[in-house]
Structure 1
Amino acid sequence: DTGDLDRLAEQLRYTGIRDLYVHAGPLEHDGTLPKKLYPKAGWLVEGLHERLPRLRVSAWLGDVLDTESPEGLSMA
């Protein structure tokens, strides 16, 4: 909601933070990221850029490993 976005922007405004990493995932084991996992990503990035034009927003991509879940990615 835009109220949450306004509050986040206010919290970041005077911190000196110029890069914000937003977690997206988990990835599929083939390295793709299903669109259903980030349906409002564009809204978030656009909203933050409207409020904080100098802020860079990047995705922090991750996966679940087999040490964390039976369906996780094997690194072996």
Structure 2
Amino acid sequence: MKEKYPNLHRMALDYLSVPATSTAVERVFSQGRQLLHFTRNRLSGNSVRAFLCLGSWMRHDVVSPEDLIAIIRQKRKRPSE
């Protein structure tokens, strides 16, 4: 399956894996601290989780910045509900 769906494979590893050591966990907390500056203290837990996950996917070339920008622009063009 890894060869057939490489992006899905990488996303599953990021989302479903459990780190074997605390080093990876501390790295995530450090990344979260960079994301959650004192001025951004009102983000929801779901938003923080999504940003950290998306950042990991972008670092591993699962999601490209161009695709992300295109999606954001599409969302802005839709009328508000």
Same fold (TM over 0.5): no
Higher fraction of helix: 2
Higher fraction of strand: 1
Point out which structure has higher relative CO (alpha carbons under 8 A, 6+ apart): 1
